Amino acid sequence: MKRITVDLGARSYPIYIAAGCLNQIGDIVSSHQLERKIALITDENVGPLYSDAVEAALKASGFQVSVYVLPAGEASKSLETADKLYEYLIRDRFDRKSTIISLGGGVIGDVGGFIAATFMRGIRFVQIPTTLLAQTDSSVGGKVGINHRFGKNLIGAFYQPCFVLIDPQVLETLPLRERRAGMAEVVKYGLIADETFFDFLAGHLEDVIQLAPSGDVEGVIETCCSIKARVVQQDEREGGLRQILNFGHTAGHALEALTNFEFYRHGEAVAMGMRCMTWLSWQSDFISEADFSRIDALLQRFPQPSPQPVFESNEILEKIYSDKKVFDGKLNVVLLSKIGEALVKKNLDPKAMLAALEWMNRSSDEIKQYYR
C-alpha cells in the first residue's frame, strides 16, 4: 500500500492508496485508535455499491456504525442537509469522541467534513473518496464546506481528516462522464506543477479515463496527491501558494452557481475555466502562443454537456465577484507562467477578466484582437 504523508505537525495525516484497500477499512480505523461510534455518510449512488461492505468491515473490527444516505448531487451541499445531519447525530447520541466517515465523491467529502468540523465544535473525520475528482483533489487538504445560493463553498472550514483511504478499484463503477470530469482536476496538476505529468496526460488522456493499464491510474492518483500534499504543507489555509490550486475555478465556480449547481459536473466547469485563464495567461504575455496552443488542444478534448446554457460575460463576471477569492472588491486569479508553473495575479483589471470570459463564450479572433 502506498502512503503519502500530509505533514502539518500535530494535524499531519496519511493518504493510503491501494487497489482493494476498501476491505481493510476496519483494520486501518483501528490502527488510528478511533473510538467505536462511527457515522458513515454516503449518497444514493455510492451507498448501494459500497456502504454494506464498509459497514461490515467496520463492524467486524468492533465498531458501532450508523449509515446516513444523502441524495446524490451538488444540491446536498446545503444548510438544509447540514441541519438534517446534525439532527441525526444528536438523535443517535453521537458525542465528541465519535467519528464521521465520508464515503463518496467531493460532495459527500465536503458535507461530511463540514459536519465533523462543526458538530460539538469538532469531531474526528475520515475520507474515503470514490470518484476520480475526489481521489485526486478534494479529499486532500482539509477544505470542507457547503454551498450558498450566492456561490459555491461560501460556508466552510479548513479541517483535516485523520486519514484518507483511496481504492482505485471503485472507479470501475464510476460513470464515464464522472471520470472525464474528474480528469480536468488531474490535468490541472500538470499545468500548475509538473510539465512532465502534463505531457504524460496529453498522450494518455483516454487511457486514464478508460482505466487502461497504460493509463497507470494508481500512479496518476499518487502524483496528484503528492503535489497537493506539498502545496498544503506550505500553505494550509490558502494564504499564498495554495491559491494556485484554484486554477480554472474562478470562472468554473461562477458557471456552476449560475446553473444552480445542477447542469455542470465540477470538472466540466473547471475545464472551461482553465481554457479561459490559459487564454488570459497568453494574452498577458505570461506564456507563449505555442504553450497556449498545446494546453488548449488538450482542454478542448473535454466534452461539455449540451445544450450549453448561454450567459452574458457580464453575468459571469458579476457572479465571480461573489466568490470568496475576491478580497476588498479586488479580483485575484491564478494564471500560468509556463506549463508546470502557476502564479497568482492580484487585483486583476475587470476588463481583462471580461475579455477572457468573452473569449471563452465565443473563442473568436475578434476577442483576441479586442483585448490586445
Catalytic residues: 121, 143, 185, 228, 238, 242, 246, 249, 253, 266
| Angstrom distance (rounded) from CA 29 to CA 44 | 24
Q: How far apart are CA 46 and CA 48, in angstroms?
A: 6
Q: What is the CA radius of gyration of the chain?
A: 20
Cα distance between residue 147 and residue 129, in whole Å: 19
Residue 180 vs residues 65, 177, 215: alpha-carbon distances, Å: 33, 5, 13
Reading across the β-sheet that carries 37-43, which strands appear in turn?
Answer: 2-6, 13-17, 163-166, 124-129, 99-104, 37-43, 64-70
Q: Identify whether the C-beta of residue 57 lies closer than 8 Å to the C-beta of residue 103.
A: no
CA proximity to 54, closest of 126, 156, 131: 126
What span, in angstroms and rounded, lies between the C-alpha atoms of 279 and 277?
5
**ω before 307 within 30° of 0 (cis)?**
yes
Q: How far apart are CA 247 and CA 334, in angstroms?
A: 5
